[in-house]
C-alpha cells in the first residue's frame, strides 16, 4: 500500500470538494458541479493538500493565504479551512499526516502563523494549534433596548448591496488597523467569505454616516426565515470607528421591533452591558473561536509589531516544538523600535514554553505571567515573566471578525 501527502493539481480539486461537501453535509452535495465550480473560482489548486492511499484521495485541507492585523501591522497568515477526511478512511492518521505536512508548506510560503476554527480543539492541539481568541454572542429583545447614552448626532443610514464592498472597505481597514485579528480584505475575500457566502441566507448591509457625511460604521446582518434563528436579526459583523457610529447602529437594531430577538457577535471587550439600562435582560454567551499556531517563530517575530513603540526589553525563551524543528530551541526574543524580534542563542532559558501554548501567547490572548500562574509556562524569575508580558503584549484582546 502506498501513502503520500502533497499539494493538489487543478484536476484533483473536484475530489477535494466532494470530500469536504460530504464531511460538512453541504447543501447541494449530491450535485457537485456548482460546489466544485465555486471552489475553482475562489481558490488555487496549490492552496490544497491531499492525502492519497494507493492513488485515491483520502483527506483534504485548504490553507487560504491571508494577512492578519495585530498591533497596527499585518502578519502573513495561513487560514486553515476546511480540513476533512473521506468517511471511508477516517481514524487512519491521514488528517494528522496532512496537518504535520502543512507546517513546512506554510513555512515555505512565508505564512508565519496559522489559524483555524474548529469544534475539535483536541485534534489540532496535537499539532500545535491552541485557542487564541474568543467572542461573545449577545441576545436581546429589541423592545428591551433602552440605552444609557445617546449619540451626539443622528447622522443617516444607507442600505448597501453585497456588490458594494468598496464602500465598506475603508471603514473595515481603519477598524482592522486598531484591532487584533481582522484580516486585510481584498475583493475576493469580501465577496466570497463575507458578503456572498452561499451557505448562509442573504445578507443585509447598513452603513452609518455622520452629519458631515463621513462613513463611520456598518453592519452586515441577516433575517433568517427558517431554522433556529428564524425571526431574529443576526448581526454577523458590526464595525464602528466612533462612539456615535456604535450608538446609532445599536439603536438601528433596537428599532427592528417586529423581530423576536437581536443576535449580535462581539468581542469580550465590548461594552454593551454598560450601555443597556436593563443590563440583566441581555443574554451573553461566550466561547472560544480561533486556534493559532506559530509556524515560523523567527519570521513571525520579525513581522510582529510591538504593543508600545517606545518599549525595549529582551528575554531568553526556550520553545519545545517537535513538529517544527526550525522553531525548537532557545531564542533571545525582544522588542525594539516598535517591533518584536528573535535570534537563536546558546544560553540558559529564563522562560520555557511548548509550541502549543506559544500560539496563545503570540497574539496576546494569554499573558506569559498568567500562563505561568496556571502551570503552562515555566520561568526562572518574575522579572523575566514581566519582560515576556511586554514582548507579547497586544493593544487589544484578539477578536476575529472573519469567519473561515
Ligand atoms: C475531523 C476529521 C478531519 C479527522 O480526520 P481523521 O483522518 O479521522 O483523523 P486522524 O485519523 O488523522 O486522527 C488524528 C488524531 O486525532 C484524533 N482525532 C480525530 N478526530 C478527532 C476529533 N473529532 N476530536 C478529537 N480528536 C480527534 C485521532 O484519534 C488521532 O489521534 P491519535 O494520533 O492519538 O490516534 C474527520 O473526522 C472529518 O472529516 N470530520 C468531519 C469534518 C470535520 O469535522 N472537519 C474538521 C473541522 S475543523
The rounded average pLDDT for each run of 10 residues, N- to C-terminus, in the chain (404 residues) is 96 93 86 79 94 98 98 98 97 98 98 97 98 97 95 97 95 98 96 82 91 98 92 96 98 94 95 96 97 98 97 98 98 98 98 98 98 97 98 97 91
How far does the centroid of ligand 1 lie from the alpha carbon of residue 50, in Å? Answer: 15
Which of 92, 96, 129, 291 for a ligand 1 pocket mutation test, highest count of atoms within 8 Å of Cβ? 96
Q: Which of 19, 159, 170, 187 is nearest to 89 (CA)?
A: 19
How far does the centroid of ligand 1 lie from the alpha carbon of residue 215, in Å? Answer: 45
Q: Decide: 77 and 68 in contact? Cβ < 8 Å.
A: yes
Check residue 372 and give its pLDDT: 98
Which of 19, 95, 131 for a ligand 1 pocket mutation test, highest count of atoms within 8 Å of Cβ? 95
pTM of the model: 0.96
List residues bridging with 209 in a β-sheet.
156, 215
The greatest distance separating any two alpha carbons of the chain, rounded to the nearest whole angstrom, comes to 71
DSSP for 344-362, written as a single string: E--S--SEEEEHHHHHHHH
Check residue 36 and give its pLDDT: 78
What secondary structure letter does DSSP report for 156? E
Q: Whose CA is nearest to atom 25 of ligand 1?
A: 123
Q: Locate the ligand 1 atom nearest the alpha carbon of residue 92 and give its number.
A: 11
Alpha-carbon dihedral sign for residues 133, 139, 145, 146: negative
In the chain, DSSP finds a helix count (H) and a strand count (E) of: 12, 19
Ligand 1 pocket at CB < 6 A: 23, 59, 83-85, 90-96, 118, 120, 122-123, 126
Check residue 81 and give its pLDDT: 95
> CA-to-CA distance for 117 and 364, rounded, in angstroms?
18
How far does the centroid of ligand 1 lie from the alpha carbon of residue 93, in Å? Answer: 8
Query: From the CB of residue 197, how many other CB atoms can be counted at a distance below 10 Å?
Result: 15
Check residue 38 and give its pLDDT: 81
Amino acid at each position: 500500500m502506498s501513502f503520500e501527502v502533497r499539494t493538489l493539481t487543478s484536476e484533483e480539486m473536484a475530489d477535494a470538494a466532494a470530500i469536504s461537501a460530504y464531511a460538512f453535509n453541504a447543501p447541494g452535495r449530491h450535485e457537485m458541479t456548482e460546489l466544485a465550480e465555486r471552489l475553482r473560482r475562489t481558490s488555487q489548486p496549490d492552496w490544497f493538500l491531499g492525502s492519497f492511499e494507493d492513488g485515491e484521495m483520502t483527506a483534504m485541507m485548504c490553507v487560504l493565504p491571508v494577512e492578519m492585523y495585530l498591533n497596527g501591522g499585518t502578519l502573513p497568515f495561513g487560514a486553515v479551512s476546511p480540513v476533512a477526511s473521506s468517511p471511508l478512511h477516517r481514524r487512519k492518521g491521514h488528517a494528522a499526516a496532512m496537518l504535520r505536512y502543512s507546517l513546512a508548506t506554510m513555512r515555505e510560503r512565508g505564512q508565519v502563523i496559522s489559524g483555524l476554527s474548529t469544534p475539535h480543539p483536541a485534534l489540532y492541539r496535537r499539532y500545535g494549534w491552541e485557542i487564541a481568541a474568543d467572542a461573545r454572542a449577545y441576545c436581546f429583545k429589541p423592545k428591551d433596548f433602552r440605552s444609557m447614552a445617546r449619540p451626539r448626532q443622528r447622522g443617516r443610514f444607507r442600505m448597501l448591496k453585497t456588490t458594494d464592498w468598496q464602500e465598506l472597505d475603508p471603514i473595515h481597514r481603519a477598524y482592522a488597523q486598531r484591532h487584533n485579528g481582522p484580516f486585510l480584505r481584498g475583493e475576493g475575500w469580501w465577496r466570497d467569505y463575507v458578503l456572498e457566502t452561499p451557505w448562509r441566507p442573504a445578507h443585509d448591509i447598513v452603513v452609518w454616516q455622520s452629519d458631515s457625511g463621513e462613513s463611520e460604521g456598518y453592519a452586515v446582518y441577516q433575517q433568517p426565515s427558517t431554522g433556529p434563528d428564524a425571526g431574529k436579526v443576526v448581526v454577523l459583523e458590526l464595525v464602528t470607528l466612533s462612539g456615535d457610529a456604535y450608538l446609532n447602529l445599536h439603536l438601528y437594531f433596537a428599532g427592528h421591533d417586529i423581530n423576536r430577538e437581536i443576535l449580535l457577535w462581539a468581542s469580550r471587550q465590548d461594552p454593551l452591558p454598560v450601555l443597556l439600562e436593563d443590563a440583566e435582560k441581555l443574554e451573553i454567551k461566550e466561547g472560544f473561536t480561533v486556534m493559532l499556531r506559530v509556524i515560523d517563530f523567527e519570521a513571525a517575530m520579525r513581522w510582529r509589531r510591538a504593543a508600545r513603540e517606545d518599549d525595549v526589553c529582551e528575554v531568553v525563551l526556550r520553545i519545545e516544538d517537535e513538529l517544527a524543528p526550525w522553531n525548537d530551541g532557545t531564542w533571545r526574543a525582544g522588542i525594539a523600535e516598535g517591533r518584536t524580534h528573535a535570534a537563536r542563542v546558546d544560553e540558559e532559558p529564563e522562560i520555557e514554553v511548548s509550541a502549543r501554548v506559544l500560539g496563545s501567547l503570540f497574539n496576546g490572548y494569554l499573558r506569559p505571567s498568567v500562563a505561568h500562574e496556571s502551570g503552562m509556562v515555566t520561568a526562572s524569575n518574575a522579572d523575566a515573566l514581566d519582560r515576556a508580558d511586554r514582548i507579547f503584549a497586544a493593544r487589544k484582546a484578539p477578536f476575529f471578525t472573519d469567519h473561515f
